[in-house]
Amino acid sequence: MKRNKLIIPHGIYGITGEKFAHGRSNIECVKSMIHGGIKVIQYREKEKCIREKVEEIIEIRKLCRENNVIFIVNDHVDIAILVDADGVHVGQDDMEISHVRKLIGEDKIIGRSTHCLEHARKAVLDGADYIGVGPIFKTTTKKKDPVGLGYLEEVIKNIDLPFVAIGGIKESNIEEVKKRGADRICLVSEIVGAENIIEKIKKLNKIIN
């Protein structure tokens, strides 16, 4: 039976980042993100072996399902299928969206990272359900140079697709991103690296809302 496709909700888009979490595991961080009220979480982990990733993804998928949180897997389409994730997020160097769609089906979410207007327009034509826009500011989570707030403004003016602003966004600059019209915002190290993740999310939500 075909299910209705979920939509990426407004607010904070959570992404795992264990190396920024001061010794806390991805599982611990996800539990805190969920308790803080985040409604979409992406598993992103570049430095672990596949077995470790699968074990974590299975556990995080369970947590998200129990708490009505949308769960996205970064890069690994096969693992996303394995755990029946709600969707997958792919980068510019990853599989074409049309190929991802054939694998995961019409009812799953596909996100695409974009770094310029050309990327964004192609993602729309290819059938992405949302795009990542960034990195807005300099960030340690990605090797890409920042695209700046200018690209964010271009997307708002020209692209009719949900988008997530990402890259170097902190409590100190999130208002600049919000003011330009972003209503889905991702912060990685600012959240998982916070002394108290739940309190940090509450502070950020005050600014966003």
77-126 tens-digit pLDDT: 999 999 999 999 999 999 999 999 999 999 999 999 999 999 999 999 99
Alpha-carbon distance of 72 to 69, in angstroms, equals 10
Give the residue numbers annotated as catalytic, written as ranges.
44, 113, 142
Domain ranges of the chain: 11-208
CATH of domain 11-208: 3.20.20.70
Please report the sign of the dihedral spanned by the C-alpha atoms of residue 151, residue 74, residue 20, residue 46.
negative
Burial class from Cβ neighbours inside 10 Å (0-12, 13-18, 19+) for residue 29 reads buried
9-56 tens-digit pLDDT: 999 999 999 999 999 999 999 999 999 999 999 999 988 999 999 999
Question: Tokens for 74?
Answer: 């970064």
pTM: 0.96
Indicate the residue type of 16: T
